[in-house]
C-alpha cells in the first residue's frame, strides 16, 4: 500500500511515530506543506497516486 502523509504545520512527534510505523510495512511518502515548495497540481497528483492519504 502506498501512503501519503501531508503535514500542514510541520512534523509533530505523534506524526513521526505513526509515519515510522507505517514505513515498516508500506511505501510511505511525506509532504511537509510548511517546508516543501509544492504546487497544487503536484499535490493533487501525489494524492491520486497513493492508496491512502493522511493529513496532519
Take residue 27 and report the three cell numbers written for it: 511505501
Domain span holding position 32: 2-55
Take residue 51 and report the three cell numbers written for it: 492508496
10 within 8 A of 30, measured Cβ to Cβ: no
Burial class for 46, CB neighbours closer than 10 Å (0-12, 13-18, 19+): middle
Amino acid 10: pLDDT = 83
What's the mean pLDDT when you consider all of the chain?
94
The gap from C-alpha 18 to its chain's centroid, in whole angstroms, comes to 11
pTM: 0.90
| Count of structural domains, the chain | 1
pLDDT digits (tens, 9 = 90+) for 12-39: 999 999 999 999 999 999 999 988 788 9
Residue partners of 39: CB distance under 8 A and separation at least 6: none
Amino acid at each position: 500500500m502506498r501512503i501519503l502523509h501531508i503535514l500542514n504545520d510541520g512534523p509533530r512527534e505523534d506524526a513521526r511515530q505513526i509515519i515510522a510505523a507505517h514505513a515498516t510495512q508500506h511505501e510511505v511518502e511525506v509532504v511537509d506543506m510548511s517546508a516543501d515548495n509544492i504546487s497544487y497540481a503536484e499535490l493533487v497528483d501525489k494524492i491520486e497516486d497513493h492508496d491512502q492519504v493522511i493529513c496532519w
